Structure 1
Amino acid sequence: MVSKNTLCLWYEGTALDAAKFYAATFPDSAVTAVHQAPSDYPSGKEGDVLTVEFTVMGIPCIGLNGGPIFKHSEAFSFQVATEDQAETDRLWNAIIDNGGAPSACGWCKDKWGLSWQITPRVLTEAFTNADRTVAKRAFEAMMHMTKIDIALIEAAVKGPTDPNDRR
């Protein structure tokens, strides 16, 4: 049964492939149902996979094979809070190595065009720090990154070691 509030993600015939990848890559994720079209429709034929029910890290989703009309954009993304560099690297690399593309500041796109923010908790804690100097240093360090490097964020939080360096 579909959850009361479910994300519907539009695909061009690849919803099942995407859902299987997410289920294999992210914890607490699974493909829960596959539904075939009961008749022909503008982007497919009777019997084609029309929708796929799945979860991504516990979030209920439906993949709709709606055709080429609509594309994903950065206006929607999954933000994944990671615990350490190993988890950050694993998830980032899984997306990139499966036909995805890197972007800036921890963002990447999967091969279906869906955006992901692979964001270590340490980064979020740093740029939301009550000490605005610490937050600024962490934020500025992030602005120069593609995949987030936790060691560089932690170094930025600690601040410059040279007392004359006020970056």
Structure 2
Amino acid sequence: MQKITPNLWFNGNALEAVTYYLSVFNDGKILQTNYYPLNEQEGLPDFNKAYSGKILSIEFEILKMHFIAINANGPFLFNESVSFMIPCKNQTEIDYYWNALTANGGAESFCGWLKDKYGISWQICPENWNELSKKPNAFNKLTQMKKIIIDAF
């Protein structure tokens, strides 16, 4: 069992985001959904009263990894200081994840990095990167790419 679970803070659109990830990762599934208490119940802070009875968090799994999507407002945004790496078997798999995660508002970065439409950073890499990185000029070639092209090494 996974001992560390990433909690991803979405600003009021956790269900939309989880639905999106389940469409990209065909092995994905929702494990559990939790809801904010109703207004009349004690303990709901004033800043979250607008969420009364709505989704608080969604536990989900993609690529056999457990995540929690938190549904709340706040100043928190994703940035490149945290990313998720997807080791891919071949170029077809790299192309699939690259295209799916940059579609509809995602953005290419460099060296196999991208941001999806929610701002989460991903590294889409060949699973044999250690082997490829030992080829002549591999690092220089990598720094010239956005999406990694395996045959370029």
Q: Is TM > 0.5 for Structure 1 vs Structure 2? A: yes
TM superposition score normalised by structure 2: 0.86
SS class of match (1:87) = helix
* One-letter amino acid matched to 1:141: K
Counterpart mapping for 1:139-150 below 5 A: 139-150=139-150
For residues 13 and 24 of structure 2, the distance between their equivalents in structure 1, rounded to whole angstroms, comes to 17
* One-letter amino acid matched to 2:150: I
For residues 68 and 101 of structure 1, the distance between their equivalents in structure 2, rounded to whole angstroms, comes to 23
For residues 10 and 124 of structure 1, the distance between their equivalents in structure 2, rounded to whole angstroms, comes to 32
Q: 1:82 to 1:27 in 2, by over 3 A?
A: farther
For structure 1, list consecutive stretches of 5 or more residues without a partner in the other structure.
154-167
For residues 98 and 124 of structure 1, the distance between their equivalents in structure 2, rounded to whole angstroms, comes to 32
Q: Which has the higher contact order (CA 8 A, sep 6+)?
A: 2
Deviates more, 1:73-82 or 1:42-51: 42-51
For residues 54 and 15 of structure 2, the distance between their equivalents in structure 1, rounded to whole angstroms, comes to 11
For residues 56 and 20 of structure 1, the distance between their equivalents in structure 2, rounded to whole angstroms, comes to 11
**Structure exhibiting the larger radius of gyration computed from Cα positions:** 1
Tell me which residue corresponds to 2:11.
12
Count residues in correspondence. Answer: 145
Task: Please say if residues 103 and 117 of structure 2, whose CA atoms lie closer than 8 Å, have aligned partners that are also in contact.
Answer: no
For residues 30 and 121 of structure 1, the distance between their equivalents in structure 2, rounded to whole angstroms, comes to 24
Tell me which residue corresponds to 2:128.
122
Q: Deviations over 1:141-160 (max 9, x none)?
A: 0100001111102xxxxxxx
SS class of match (1:98) = helix
For residues 86 and 3 of structure 2, the distance between their equivalents in structure 1, rounded to whole angstroms, comes to 23
Q: Deviations over 1:53-110 (max 9, x none)?
A: 0112111110111213111111111100001111100111001113211101110011
TM superposition score normalised by structure 1: 0.79
Q: Does 1:89 find its partner at 2:95?
A: yes
For residues 29 and 76 of structure 1, the distance between their equivalents in structure 2, rounded to whole angstroms, comes to 21
Q: Percent identity?
A: 36
SS class of match (2:138) = helix
For residues 52 and 64 of structure 1, the distance between their equivalents in structure 2, rounded to whole angstroms, comes to 7
For residues 65 and 122 of structure 1, the distance between their equivalents in structure 2, rounded to whole angstroms, comes to 36
CA RMSD of aligned residues (A): 1.8
